[in-house]
């Protein structure tokens, strides 16, 4: 089970996130990014955050710790924004929290540099989970204490939105041409050799067990949360077995404008991050 904490103070919304995540303090004195069950993207986003976030952590990639957060919407009473009020009201009960990395910077490939080894590890992981949301347009990666951290796995495993076609769609190749780390010569074969043997049925079953039942019930075609957990395990296991030879790194679809402020971007040498 993910550690459970209780939200004690709603600090502020993060407007750069499409789902309007919030910075929230909790009864363990921690500060978290809260992803709300009541957000328009729905609870599958949270399932994806848990499965892929824990998978990344098990592989040794840096993903901030995840917790279950209990929310009483009353903590947002003094929040003036109506959109936030409504999100909180729709999200009473169980939500997802991700450890907040204070002072982190958004990763920008023109300002920071990662090794080809690390780039390969992230690209292979993203290929496994079908992550199309770590592109130069939307890096979903942070730099914190000189290290690369991966966030936002809500838009992964696209196939879980249509289970009847999941087997077929999860066998599709992964085009990493627009990946935010594509320019660092990702060493995909080394990552495949390191990671593929680690993805076992036991490992995936343990990870799927961490997803709260509440986010898995009533999925059409599945008579229990455990049946749905098995479907995630089977699909990811099959993908781990085929994806290594189906990752392409071609030309990016467009030029990559830097998102970084002028003082940070384009001033060689770029800062190396681990």
Ligand X SMILES: Nc1ncnc2c1ncn2[C@@H]1O[C@H](COP(=O)(O)OP(=O)(O)OP(=O)(O)O)[C@@H](O)[C@H]1O
Q: Based on the shown chain and the rule CB under 5 A, indicate whether residue 170 belongs to the binding site for Mg ion.
A: no
How many other CB atoms are there within 10 angstroms of residue 255's CB atom? 6
Q: Based on the shown chain and the rule CB under 6 A, indicate whether residue 21 belongs to the binding site for ligand X.
A: yes
- Which of 87, 191 has the CB closer to ligand X? 87
Q: Collapsing DSSP states into helix, strand and coil, what is residue 185?
A: coil
The least distance separating ligand X from the CB of residue 238, rounded to whole angstroms, comes to 27
**What are residue 142's DSSP bridge partners?**
106, 149
Q: Which stretch binds ligand X (CB under 6 A): 53-61, 68-76, 96-104, 220-228?
A: 96-104
Residue 232: DSSP 8-state: H
Give me 93's structure tokens.
Answer: 């009960």
- Which of 126, 152 has the CB closer to ligand X? 152
d(CA 155, CA 175): 16
Q: Which of 254, 215, 39 is nearest to 137 (CA)?
A: 254
Site for Mg ion in 116-145 (CB under 5 A): 140
User: Site map for ligand X, 47-86, x if CB under 6 A?
Assistant: -----------------x----------------------
User: Site map for Mg ion, 145-164, x if CB under 5 A?
Assistant: -------x------------
The least distance separating ligand X from the CB of residue 151, rounded to whole angstroms, comes to 4
How many other CB atoms are there within 10 angstroms of residue 74's CB atom? 10
The least distance separating ligand X from the CB of residue 46, rounded to whole angstroms, comes to 11
Partner interacting with residue 171 (select from ligand X, Mg ion, none; CB below 5-8 Å by kind): none
Give me 117's structure tokens.
Answer: 């080894």
Q: Based on the shown chain and the rule CB under 6 A, indicate whether residue 151 belongs to the binding site for ligand X.
A: yes
With contacts defined by CB under 6 A, how many residues of the chain interact with ligand X? 20
CB crowding 193-226: b at 16 or more within 10 Å, else e: ebbeeebeeebbeebbeebbeebbeebeebeebe
> Is the alpha carbon torsion for 65, 66, 71, 77 positive or negative?
positive
- Which of 19, 131 has the CB closer to ligand X? 19
Q: Tell me the backbone φ, ψ of residue 149, rounded to 5 degrees.
A: -120, 140
Please report how many Cα atoms fall inside a 13 Å half-sphere around the Cα of residue 35, on the Cβ side. 26
The least distance separating ligand X from the CB of residue 131, rounded to whole angstroms, comes to 11
Residues that bind ligand X (CB under 6 A): 14, 16-19, 21, 33, 64, 98-101, 104, 106, 138, 140, 142, 151-152, 154
Residues that bind Mg ion (CB under 5 A): 140, 152
């Amino acid at each position: 089970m993910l550690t459970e904490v209780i939200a004690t103070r709603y600090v502020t919304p993060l407007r750069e996130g499409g789902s309007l995540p919030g910075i929230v303090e909790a009864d363990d004195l921690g500060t978290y990014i809260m992803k709300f069950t009541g957000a328009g993207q729905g609870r599958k986003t949270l399932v994806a955050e848990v499965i892929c976030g824990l998978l990344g952590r098990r592989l040794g990639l840096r993903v901030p710790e995840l917790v279950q957060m209990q929310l009483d919407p009353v903590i947002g009473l003094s929040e003036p924004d109506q959109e936030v009020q409504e999100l909180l009201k729709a999200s009473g009960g169980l939500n997802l929290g991700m450890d907040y990395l204070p002072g982190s910077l958004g990763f920008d490939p023109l300002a920071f540099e990662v090794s080809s080894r690390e780039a390969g590890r992230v690209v292979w992981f993203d290929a496994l989970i079908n992550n199309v949301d770590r592109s130069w347009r939307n890096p979903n990666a942070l730099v914190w204490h000189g290290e690369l951290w991966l966030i936002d796995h809500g838009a992964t495993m696209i196939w879980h939105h249509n289970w009847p076609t999941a087997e077929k769609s999860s066998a599709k190749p992964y085009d990493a041409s627009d990946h935010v780390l594509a320019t660092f010569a990702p060493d995909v074969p080394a990552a495949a050799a390191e990671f593929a043997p680690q993805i076992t049925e036991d490992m995936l079953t343990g990870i799927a067990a961490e997803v709260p039942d509440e986010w898995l019930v009533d999925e059409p075609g599945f008579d229990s949360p455990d049946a749905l957990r098995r479907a995630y395990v089977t699909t990811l296991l099959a993908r781990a077995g085929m994806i290594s030879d189906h990752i392409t790194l071609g030309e990016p679809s467009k030029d990559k404008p830097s998102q970084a402020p002028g003082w940070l971007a384009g001033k060689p040498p770029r800062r190396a991050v681990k």
